[in-house]
Amino acid sequence: MKARITVLPGDGIGPEVTGEAVKVLEHVGQVFGHEFEFKEALLGGCAIDATGTALPDETVAACRAADAVLLGAVGGPKWDDPTAKVRPEQGLLGIRKALGLFANLRPVKLFPELLHASTLRPETLAGVDVLVVRELTGGVYFGPREEAGEDGSRAYDTMLYTRPEIERVVRLAAKAAQGRRGQLTSVDKANVLASSRLWRRVATEVVESEFPDVRLEHILVDAAAMHLIRQPSRFDVIVTGNLFGDILTDEASMLAGSMGMLPSASLGEDVNSVGLPRGLYEPIHGSAPDIAGQGVANPLAAILSAAMLLRHSLGLEQEAKTVEEAVSAVLSDGYRTADIARSGERTVGTEEMGTAVRERIR
C-alpha cells in the first residue's frame, strides 16, 4: 500500500523519539512491501521560534493532506512563561481540534519484563490491561473562559459538554469494549457537576440502546483514581471527559512502569485515502526537557504509537503486531533505557533501542 504520513517532531525529546519511530515505519515498509511517504511540519515551541505561532497554517494543511500524523511532544522551559500570549500547548490543543480528533485512546498494558519498574507491587499489577478513552476536543479544555478579569483578580474555565460530544466518544469506547472483555466504566463527577450528570445520562442511553452486550458501570473520578492503583485489573475500557482523562492516564501510566512505554491514538470522524480514520499518534510522555538532546530518551512509546498508526489508520494489523512483538522481544532480550532499568542494569540509548527493535522485524 501507499500512505502519506505527516511527522510533527515538536520539542525536547520529540525529534529523537519520532526519529526512531519513523525508521521503524520505513523498515516495516521495506519488509512488508509498503510505500510510506514522510513529511515533517512544525508544531509547538519550535513553530513559535520559526513562525511566531504554535500551529502554523502549513502544519494544519500538511496534516489534512496525510493519511496519518505522528507526533513527538511539545513544550519546554524556553516557552514556559505563563503570561506569554503564545504557548506550545496551544499547538497541540489546536491540531487536535482542527483535525476533529474527539477520542484519545490510551492503552495501558504491562510488559511482564517491566513488572519491577512500577512502584506498585507485582501482585497488584497481575492481569492489567486497560484502555482509557479520553474525550479530547471538548470539556473544560475548550469551554468559555476568562483569562483574568479587568484587574487580573479573577479567572474561570467552563466544563461544557453537549449530547453529541458525549454520544460519539461513548459509542467509540463501547465499540472498543465489544472487541475486548465487554466491560465499560464511565468516569465522571456526577455528585457535583452538572456536565457530569448529562455525561452519565447520555452514556447510559447510548450503551443501553446500542450496546446491550456491553456491561456499563459509572464511577466517580475520585474513586476511579483510587481503584486504579488499588485493583487496576478490574478495569477493561474506561471512558471519560477531557480533564479527568488527562489526569487518570498519567496515573495509569505508572502501572506500566514508565511514561516512556505508553502510546496513544487520537481519532475523529475524518477518513483518509485508505477509508480509515486519519488519526494522530503520539507517546503520552511529554517533551522531557531535562534529558533532551542527550540520546537517552526511551523511544518505545513513540514506536508503539507507530504500531497503533499502522493498525488504526492504515489497517495493517499484522504489521502492527509485528512491531509490538519486536518491542516485547527487545525487552525480553534485556534492552533497557534509563527510565526502565533497575539500578546497576546496563542501559542503552535512544538509537540503540530503535535499532534493536528494527532488527527484530523481519
- AA identity, residue 320: A
The reply to whether 281 belongs to the active site is: no
Contact between 71 and 18 (Cβ < 8 Å) = yes
CA 125 to chain centre: 21
Tell me how many residues contact ligand IPM (CB under 6 A): 4
Distance CA 11, CA 18 (A): 11
Distance CA 44, CA 79 (A): 9
Residues 6+ apart with CB under 8 A from 112: none
Task: Please state the closest distance from residue 35 (CB atom) to Mg ion, in A.
Answer: 34
User: How open is the CA angle 49-52-53, to the nearest 5 degrees?
Assistant: 105
Contact between 17 and 302 (Cβ < 8 Å) = yes
Burial 35-71 (b: 16+ CB within 10 A, else e): ebeeeebbbbbbbbeeeeebbbeebbebbeebbbbbb
Give the alpha-carbon dihedral of 322, 326, 327, 333, to 10 degrees: 160
The binder of 172, among Mg ion, ligand IPM, none, by C-beta within 5 to 8 A per type, is none
The binder of 89, among ligand IPM, Mg ion, none, by C-beta within 5 to 8 A per type, is ligand IPM
Would you give the binding string for ligand IPM spanning residues 245-284, x where CB under 6 A is met? -x-------------------------------------x
The reply to whether 335 belongs to the active site is: no
246 counts as binding Mg ion under rule CB under 5 A: yes
Cell 500500500 belongs to 1
The reply to whether 23 belongs to the active site is: no
Q: How far is CA 46 from CA 6, 14, 206, in A?
A: 16, 11, 42
E strand or H helix at 25, and its extent?
A: helix 14-32
356 counts as binding ligand IPM under rule CB under 6 A: no
Contact between 255 and 230 (Cβ < 8 Å) = no
Task: Please state the closest distance from residue 250 (CB atom) to Mg ion, in A.
Answer: 5
Please say which residue, 96 or 189, places its beta carbon nearer to ligand IPM: 96
Which residue's CB comes closest to Mg ion? 246
Which residue's CB comes closest to ligand IPM? 89
Please say which residue, 238 or 284, places its beta carbon nearer to ligand IPM: 284
Task: Please state the closest distance from residue 286 (CB atom) to Mg ion, in A.
Answer: 8
Distance CA 5, CA 361 (A): 20
Task: Please state the closest distance from residue 347 (CB atom) to ligand IPM, in A.
Answer: 26
Contact stretch for Mg ion (CB under 5 A) within 17-25, 140-148, 224-232, 242-250: 242-250
Catalytic residue among 80, 222, 270, 333: 222
Catalytic residue among 141, 161, 281, 335: 141
Task: Please state the closest distance from residue 15 (CB atom) to ligand IPM, in A.
Answer: 17
**190: helix, strand or coil:** coil
Please say which residue, 26 or 89, places its beta carbon nearer to ligand IPM: 89
The binder of 113, among Mg ion, ligand IPM, none, by C-beta within 5 to 8 A per type, is none
The reply to whether 161 belongs to the active site is: no
Q: Which of 38, 39, 51, 89 binds ligand IPM (CB under 6 A)?
A: 89
Contact residues: ligand IPM, CB under 6 A: 89, 92, 246, 284
Which amino acids are annotated catalytic?
Answer: 141, 189, 222, 246, 250
